[in-house]
Amino acid sequence: MNEIRADEAKSDGAKLDGAGLRALLRQLAKTPEFLGSPEGNEFLSQLEHYLVPGARTAARRLGLGDEWAQPHEVLHTLIVGLCSDDGKVATHIAQTAIDPWAYLARCSTKWSHDLWGSRGISLGQLSEARVEACLLTQQHQTRDDALTSLDQVVVLTHRALAPHTPQDLSRPLGGLLSWLANNPPQRASHETADRAAAARAFRQFTPSQIAAVVNIAWGGRPRRRETSLLAAFLMNPDFRPSDSPTHARALLHYRRAMRSQQAFETPPERMAA
């Protein structure tokens, strides 16, 4: 599929009626390449004009700025969703929706929410009360899939890391891991702010120790999934780091970082304890 550019054309015509929109949705489901035609370009312009404002409103309700609902991102997310599974959703709307514009608006908002994730904003932008409320809410959610429960993931990860962690940090490590598990990374641009927020919330740790916990919990770039302990235990509660060379190496790096001379630059909170 060609890259979607929201600024290539602006719609000068009236809003498509239901029949016209259904016809274009059928064309999209049949061949997404139709978007490269003048008719397809007009279709994209109408989607931008009538659907992007709703996505931006949804973003603002979550406390997010307009940069989280850029026109090209909203359009790309919508078109990918409509074209998935051989255009299943586009065909469904064309064939069954009483108001196809309203149906598209709901899809656009839902898929944008999925893109933003469960948190949506940097931890540094959250008050302590909002973070605690988020944790309490998510910890009591039930799961109906085959994944390990989040509480168990935290316990298993803490059990794997405790022998490699300074003893006085073992207990607060559990709280930090719970925070990281409940607030997985959403955007690379937020990672620095997230680490700073974690350092403020868990003052027993030095910045280098925070970085070490983040790297082993979320996984280190660029192979985040391959080195994340949280992800490994989420998929398999019987996972053993020693059985995975990448996780075993990551665990060695964690141990060195937590016990290095730099890591033992004692924070004032620990000196006063």
Q: What is the pLDDT of residues 160-207, one digit of tens each?
A: 999 999 989 988 898 889 888 877 766 565 677 777 777 888 888 988
Q: Does any domain span residue 103?
A: yes
What mean pLDDT do residues 136-148 have? 48
Indicate the range of 63-67, 107-111, 156-160, 253-257 predicted with least confidence.
Answer: 63-67
Q: Are the CB atoms for 105 and 51 separated by under 8 Å?
A: yes
Residue 7 lies in a domain: no
Can you tell me the distance from the alpha carbon of 38 to that of 43, in angstroms, rounded to the nearest whole number? 9
The continuous run of DSSP H or E covering 58 comes out as helix 38-61
Q: CB count, 10 Å around CB of 15?
A: 11
CA atoms within 13 A on the CB side of 250: 31
Looking at the structure, tell me whether residues 206 and 263 fall in a common domain: yes
pTM of the model: 0.48
* 269 has a pLDDT exceeding 60: no
State the angle between helix axes of 170-182 and 207-218 in degrees (0 to 180), rounded to the nearest 10: 50
Q: Tell whether 8 is covered by a domain.
A: no
Q: Same domain, yes or no, for 133 and 39?
A: no
**Does one domain contain both 227 and 135?**
yes
Domain edge (last residue) among 66, 88, 116: 116
Residues 137 and 234 both lie in one domain? yes
The amino acid that residue 155 corresponds to is V
Using CA atoms in the order 141, 144, 147, 150, what is the torsion angle rounded to 10 degrees? Answer: 10
Q: Is residue 4 part of a domain?
A: no
89 and 169 inside one domain: no
* 259 part of a folded domain: yes
Residues 130 and 258 in one domain: yes
Domain of residue 108: give its range: 18-116
- Of the three residues 63, 91, 116, the one that is the final residue of a domain is 116
C-alpha atoms less than 13 angstroms from C-alpha of 70 in its C-beta half-sphere: 8
Structure tokens at 134: 């988020």
33-66: per-residue pLDDT in tens? 889 899 999 999 999 999 888 888 887 776 666 7
Residue 150 and residue 264 in one domain: yes
Do 96 and 154 sit in the same domain of this protein? no
Residue 5 lies in a domain: no
Instruction: Indicate the DSSP class of residue 273.
Output: -
Whether 164 and 181 map to the same domain: the answer is yes
Could you report how far apart the first and last alpha carbons of the chain are, in Å?
Answer: 59
- Flag whether 11 is in a domain: no
Greater confidence, 8 or 200?
A: 200
Do 129 and 230 reside in the same domain of the chain? yes
- pLDDT higher at 2 or 73: 73
Co-location of 69 and 135 in the same domain:
no
Q: Are 165 and 258 in contact, with CB atoms under 8 Å apart? A: yes
137 lies in some domain: yes
Q: Could you give the angle at the alpha carbon of 15 between the alpha carbons of 83 and 36, nearest 5°?
A: 40
Residue 136, Cβ density class (10 Å: 0-12 exposed, 13-18 middle, ≥19 buried): exposed
Collapsing DSSP to helix, strand or coil, 2 comes out as coil
Residues 88 and 141 occupy one common structural domain: no
Boundary residue ending a domain (116, 133, 154)? 116
Q: Do 47 and 104 contact (CB within 8 A), yes or no?
A: yes
Domains in the chain: how many in total?
2
How confident is the model at residue 13, as a pLDDT?
62
